[in-house]
Amino acid sequence: MAMRSGTTSSNACARAIAQHRRPHPCNRASASSLYPHAMFTSSSSPSGGEISSSVAGRAAFELRRKIEENKGQVSSRWRTSMATQLSHAGLSKNYGDEEKSKKFNSPLSPPIELATTFERPPSGEYGVDGLIYSRSCNPTRRLLEDAVGRLEMNFKESDASYEYDQDTIAPTFAFSSGMAAVASLILACPSPVKLLIPKDVYHGVPTQLYNSFSEHGVSHESVDMTNLNELYQEIEDNVRSDGTLVVWVETPSNPLCQVTDIQAVCNVVEKLRRHKDHGRILTVVDSTWAPPCITLPLSLSTDVVLHSGTKYLGGHSDVLLGIASCSPTTENGRWMAQRLRAVQTSVGAVASPLECWLTLRGLRTLHLRVERQCQSAMKLAEYLHGHQHVVKCHYPGLKSHPQYAVAKEQMSMFGGMVSFEVESETLAMAVVGAVHIIRRATSLGGTETLIEHRASIEPPERRTSPPGLLRLSVGLEDVEDLKHDLEVALEVASQIVHTATE
Ligand SMILES: Cc1ncc(COP(=O)(O)O)c(C=O)c1O
């Protein structure tokens, strides 16, 4: 029932205040101790006559704020769930800020701050907010960085492998693309730098290492990250007394959907950190395929987590952005946060304000999109797994997947990416040619389902994907339409290829 203005609403507010005057379980101070008596008596008190609706609203606001503040002190710390946090990502929030709360008509959706420079006050001092020049700081970028930094720390104390303060935000840095984030991270490492990268990894990572970093003394080696003995040996063989050894995890991997046990890898690294005289050993997880509502690598002792925000975080195939969050609880994470901040400012591969704003808007629906994408991916994987023209289906949610147990433990959902293999490259290309609803394009994480023949996009000299492998980024369409599209495409492709070879 809509509340009418005037006496009725005032009485309702007064009753609400009167209720709050009883000590709240989370609040040792009662309303009467929070407010001067005069506040209730001038326009009358909750136990007596009237107060104006604006006074009631203001009083309720202040009381609620006090309750929330006290909650932090007296009860076990409580934090909103991931879904709630995502739904409000980047929204302007006056709550708790005395000055701002007086401005009730501030915009809910944040403005896009395009200014590249910020005027100094006549005294010449810059404010404490660090707003000088937008390469070093931009308000819209900072909103996104804080929102992601908060999400990456949104785990229960019981899920963390260490003690942490629930109010902590992971220091986070937004870049102009996922690859700009990768490059900035490497630039932030003291040399000599060596990376141990997974055998199955987004091909852009080795391409960047070969094309842009190999001549600058950065070396790398491919390791099977799902084989912990091999990893232990590789670290032991490569660790040096100086420089940086980066253990690079990508899970699930692109394109084979291999799942790496993040905590187990961090344990192996920690063991070696303790037993050897060495330079830095840094753990980095590219969690692009498992956004924060699926996996939180910082809860599993990782030093740095990275995303191509171009994918799920943006979520609409219209943003190019990368983001890296550093653990505030590992020594390496704190160290990297300082270095990455310096590289972000000095190199300047920063995300633009518009891209940051679009990513913030994308975040607000991330959980719903990803939930639906994961449900549909599971159904499509089950369908493809048993299909007569499909040789192999790679999806962490299938019980036949080699790392199913790890995926179940580490991921809250199994992801929206499915890869499957048909018997030849020719057949794979024919399937891609025959889809009708599914779109033929690279990239992933958008609302539309995409199909891609992976091997043909990889540099010819370093093809690692099986020739018959097709990668699906599952979107938000009706899954029955997608299933039908694949069913017809597989049948048509098979007819074309097999008729031609008969
Ligand atoms: C796992 C992974 N990491 C990083 C990237 C690079 O991101 P961007 O295209 O935003 O540079 C991609 C791109 O496809 C990716 O799939």
Contacts of 102 (CB under 8 A, 6+ apart): none
Neighbours of 122 (CB within 10 A): 6
Of the candidates 405, 391, 369, the residue with the CA atom closest to the CA atom of residue 477:
369
Cα-to-centroid distance, 359 and ligand 1 (Å) = 15
Say if ligand 1 is within 6 A of residue 176 CB.
no
Separation of CA 444 and ligand 1 centre (Å): 9
* Ligand 1 binding pocket mutation candidate from 200, 203, 254, 457 (most atoms within 8 A of CB): 254
Q: What is the pLDDT of residue 67?
A: 83
Separation of CA 66 from chain center: 32
Q: For residue 16, give the amino acid letter.
A: A
Q: Is 332 in the pocket of ligand 1 (CB under 6 A)?
A: no
Ligand 1 close to Cβ of residue 177 (< 6 A): yes
Ligand 1, atom nearest to 181 Cα:
11
| Cα–Cα distance for residue pair 62/69, rounded to 1 Å | 10
How many residues are recorded in the chain? 502
286 ligand 1 Cβ < 6 A? yes
Pocket probe for ligand 1: among 250, 256, 306, 308, the residue whose CB has the most ligand atoms within 8 Å is: 308
What separation in Å is there between the alpha carbon of 153 and the centre of ligand 1?
22
| Amino acid at the residue 54 | S
pLDDT along the chain (502 residues), means of 10: 34 37 34 39 52 89 81 56 93 64 74 94 81 94 96 79 70 98 98 97 97 96 96 93 95 98 97 83 98 97 98 98 97 97 97 98 98 98 97 98 98 98 98 98 98 94 93 98 98 92 70
Question: What sign does the dihedral 154-135-205-329 (CA atoms) show?
Answer: negative
Inter-residue contact 170 to 298 (CB < 8 Å) = yes
How far, in Å, from the CA of 320 to the mean position of ligand 1? 10
- Please report where in the chains the tokens 């057949």 appear, as a residue: 427
pLDDT at 71: 66
Whole-number Å distance, alpha carbon 178 to ligand 1 midpoint, is 5
Q: Which CATH architecture has domain 366-501?
A: Alpha-Beta Complex (3.90)
CB 292 within 8 A of CB 239: no
pTM over 0.85: yes
How is residue 191 written in tokens?
């040399």
Compute, in angstroms, the gap from residue 185 CA to the centroid of ligand 1: 14
Q: Is 139-363 in CATH node 3.40.640.10?
A: yes
